[in-house]
Amino acid sequence: MKVITLIILCFLSIECLGWGATGHRATGYIAEQYLTAKARSRVAAILNQESIAMASNWMDEIRSDSTYNYVIDWHWTTIPDGKKYEDVMSSNLDGKVVMMIEKIVTDLKSKKLNKKQEQEYLKMLIHLVGDIHQPLHVGKPGDRGGNDVKVKWFRNDSNLHRVWDSEMIDDSKLSYTELAMALGKPDKVTVKNWQSASVRDWAAESMSFRPQVYDIGNGSLGYQYTFKYFPIAKQRMLQAGIRLAGLLNQIYGK
């Protein structure tokens, strides 16, 4: 009964996943390359030597456990066109990803969490930084983050959210390490600029890609859509990994 209830809650939420498993792992793998030695050692100890890449999907995996029902709406936020997060944050905001990333970072920096809380919050942070960089996780009202936008993906029934979460990524036929390496390596100035942006800046960036994301024509998507817009997905995964490393260096690298 609990499983059925969770499935229903997931269906009613804006979306059920962030980047697919491969995308989240690629983002985690990238983050590992940009950690300071101190942050790398501390993160590894907290995760019991599990890699960031493999810990990145924990927050999706716990959806089968009703104990964690309270995190269902942490994966996304809804911000109407023409608005900023600050314009809607005082209202009954749909989705909490911005708020929760900010809170988790503050709590991890406080050093007041017990061992279990710190490990879980760290895994949540790893996942949510990936989520907020997926454009449809900062969705517009009315279509559940693109889940209600029905499309054909190479003639198979799909929806726009699923295309961005996993289908473009999975069709690349790359492992998460291959995908991470294919995303490139920005110069130091770009890394610094990306890491200096705030969580709210990340959300605004995701919103800025709506014209491209929703450029679906008659809804029959495939090679042309991938050619035009997969570079955005790749950039967002790369930015997520580098920014995650920046946060972890702030928290654990000092």
Listed in sequence order, the residues at least 6 apart from 62 whose beta carbon sits closer than 8 Å to its beta carbon are: 68, 71
- DSSP E strands in the chain: the ranges are 77-78, 138-139, 150-153, 156-159, 220-221
pLDDT in tens, 54-77: 999 999 999 989 999 999 999 999
In this model, does residue 1 exceed pLDDT 60?
Answer: no
- Other beta carbons within 10 angstroms of residue 90's beta carbon come to 7
At residue 155, does pLDDT exceed 50?
Answer: yes
Please state which CATH class domain 2-252 belongs to: mainly alpha
Contacts of 249 (CB under 8 A, 6+ apart): 34, 35, 36, 39
Q: What does the pLDDT look like over 19-44, one tens digit per residue?
A: 899 999 999 999 999 999 999 999 99
pLDDT at 103 over 80: yes
| Whether 139 contacts 125, CB under 8 Å | no
Mean pLDDT of the region 145-168: 97
The whole-number pLDDT of residue 90 equals 79
Cα–chain center distance at 235? 13
Query: Which tokens sit at 102?
Result: 């900010």
